[in-house]
Amino acid sequence: MSRSLRMTPARWAALGAAIIAIELANRVGGPGMSLVLAEMLILALFASSLNLLMSYGHMVSFGHSAFFGLGAYGFTLMVTKAGLPVEAALVFGPLAAALGGLVFGALCVRLTEIYFAMLTLACAQITFTVLFQWYDFTGGDTGITGFMDARFGLSEANFATLTLVVLGVCLAAMARIINSPLGMSIRSVGQDRWRAEALGLAPRRVQLVAFVIAAFFAGIAGTLFAVSQGSAFPDYAGLGFTLDALIMVVIGGLHSFWSGVIGAVIFTQLRHWAPLFTDHWELALGIILLVIVIALPHGVASVAGKLARMLGLEGRK
Amino acid sequence: MTGTDNILSARGVRKTYGSFVALNSVDFDLPKGERHALIGPNGAGKSTLVACIAGQLPGVEGSILFKGHEVARLMPAELAKRGIGRTFQISRAFLQMTVLENLTSAHIISAGRWASLSKSLLAEATDKAGAMLATVGLSDRAQTKVADMSLGDRKRLEFGMALACDPDLLLLDEPTAGMSIKERHYLMDLVAQRVDETGKTLLFVEHDIDVVLKIAQRVTVMVRGSILATGAPTEIAANEQVQAVYLGGHH
């Protein structure tokens, strides 16, 4: 449930085991596995940033990829246009995304529910179109390539470890925000803006802050993705990434802190391994999504909780 | 008349929804420290008047002075900061949060530090919330999710949330709706006690006439968007017009 995040000893143990399992797979699985893992971890960060917005702020965005793309291009353009060293340009990815979040957010939070979602979609499409068509500046649909060694020249395995660390730091920061007065305010407005307003909150301002925070973390994911590919393409801001992240959050389960991560693990692993067994992996994904939404409306994260309670690791709350 | 001892003074307050006139030029004074009940049949405009005072309706005409300042066009959040707290007719507590989290959130917001990342502020607000739980008699429900609570308990929680903001004027819209008679008197005795102890002013909408007679020092009767009568509870109970509205065919 969307309660403030508490880490019990059992949860710490599960988290530790997951980290060890990922790193182990990374080290023994070969370069192919490491590439899949790096992508999975980056998407886990991206989906988690969307989840922050959806599970805590109750704001459904259809345009979150705008900030993934702005992160990638903010970083890339600082290298190619401003001539900054790659390491220094890194900070401009998340900053560009946060700035984009501020501008688009100020517009979008004026509306709620489906109208909010539609505005975010429009903002993302604008971003995509600018990246796609502004050839002189962004390279248009040919993207920007060859400005750096992919992964800073790190080995596949080492880069996957780096993304694991970045994901861990970002998740810790997100958890810190959720478990703070600000996090309470974001949840309050998400659950009942009238009540929050009557208590003295300006809902739009709170939503804007949540939006910028989510955009910032999406920007980190986008920057990392550009580093992993050594390139930036308009698709990064396209509808595909938004939909993937939405699916991950739903698979993982709304109202859980971990839904972005869990959803990303399931989604990316399926995407990479299912095609080995079937030509119709999207069909398989569709069926899995259908089953999860109908049978597990609270997503896979709820199963973990139920299991832990059945095993007596956690008390019922 | 607008005396300086009126915490609230409304003049010509009018609110329409299309051609429907929900409030028709209402004049209303509320002396500081008074416990005042709003009664009247359904659709009389009681909740609309409360929402107008709390700033939650757009397009309100007329003037509303709160502590001598014009507030008719202010946003609800601003009014909350100036000292107007309210509960809603249909409970609007945060459903997916626990009782304790609801009250903690109210304390954080009323402290004006909604954007803080401070852990000590959160701990402090949680402590205050714990004390408020005891005040409204929900200590054993601290970790219960609001969605899992009875209507009566939600109403109590909402009262606690309004109190957490320490408002000067407390607006309670049907605070006892959906409660048993025993629960009603328990809550409203508590409300009266807290209001008197802290020197607040209370305006409440109530259908249970026993509760009104017991708690209110003055009563205003509304009918079809207008004020029919204002006076002491005994006067109101004896008023023939009021009796006609309540007993006769009110149309």
pLDDT tens digits, one per residue of A236-266: 999 999 999 999 999 888 888 999 999 999 9
A255 part of contact set with chain B, CB < 8 Å? yes
Find all residues with CB under 8 Å of B208, minimum gap 6, and list them.
B176, B181, B184
Over residues B54-78, mean pLDDT: 92
Is residue B105 predicted with pLDDT exceeding 80?
Answer: yes
pLDDT tens digits, one per residue of B128-173: 999 999 999 899 999 999 999 988 889 999 999 999 999 999 999 9
The number of distinct structural domains making up chain A is 1
Confidence of residue B244 (pLDDT cuts 50, 70, 90): confident
Q: Where are the domains of chain B?
A: 6-247
A314 part of contact set with chain B, CB < 8 Å? no
SS (H, E, C) A13-55: HHHHHHHHHHHHHHHHCHHHHHHHHHHHHHHHHHHHHHHHHHH
Q: CATH for B6-247?
A: 3.40.50.300
Nearest to B115 among A185, A191, A255 (CB): A185
Confidence of residue A270 (pLDDT cuts 50, 70, 90): confident
Contact residues on chain A for B77, CB-CB shorter than 8 A: 197, 200-203
- B108/A181 Cβ within 8 A: yes
Confidence of residue A278 (pLDDT cuts 50, 70, 90): confident
Nearest to B76 among A2, A191, A197 (CB): A197
Phi, psi of B7 (to 5 degrees): -75, -30
Residue A288 located in a structural domain: no
- The residue whose two tokens read 């008679």 is B181
- A181/B122 Cβ within 8 A: yes
Residue A68 located in a structural domain: yes
pLDDT tens digits, one per residue of A123-175: 999 999 999 999 888 888 888 888 888 888 899 999 999 999 999 999 999 99
Of B144, B117, B122, B123, residue with least CA distance to B133: B144
Is residue B246 predicted with pLDDT exceeding 90?
Answer: no
pLDDT of residue B248: 59
A172 part of contact set with chain B, CB < 8 Å? no
- Report the complex ipTM: 0.85
pLDDT tens digits, one per residue of B19-43: 999 999 999 999 999 999 999 988 8
Is residue A316 predicted with pLDDT exceeding 50?
Answer: no
Chain A closest-CA separation from residue B59 CA (Å) = 17
For an interface test with B, which of A191, A199, A212, A302 has the most B Cβ atoms less than 10 Å from its Cβ? A199
- The Cβ-side half-sphere exposure at A227, using a 13 Å CA radius, reads 30
Q: List residues bridging with B226 in a β-sheet.
A: B223
- Encode A265-277: b = buried (16+ Cβ within 10 Å), e = exposed: bbbbebbbebeee
Using beta carbons and an 8 Å cutoff, which residues of B are at the interface with A? 54, 56, 75-77, 80-81, 85-86, 88, 92-98, 101, 104-106, 108-110, 112-119, 121-122, 125, 143, 145, 161-162, 164-165
Residue A278 located in a structural domain: no
A139 to each of A128, A142, A150, A232, B215, how far by Cα in Å?
Answer: 12, 6, 18, 9, 73
pTM for this one?
A: 0.89
Residue A84 located in a structural domain: yes
Enclosing domain of residue A33: 9-238
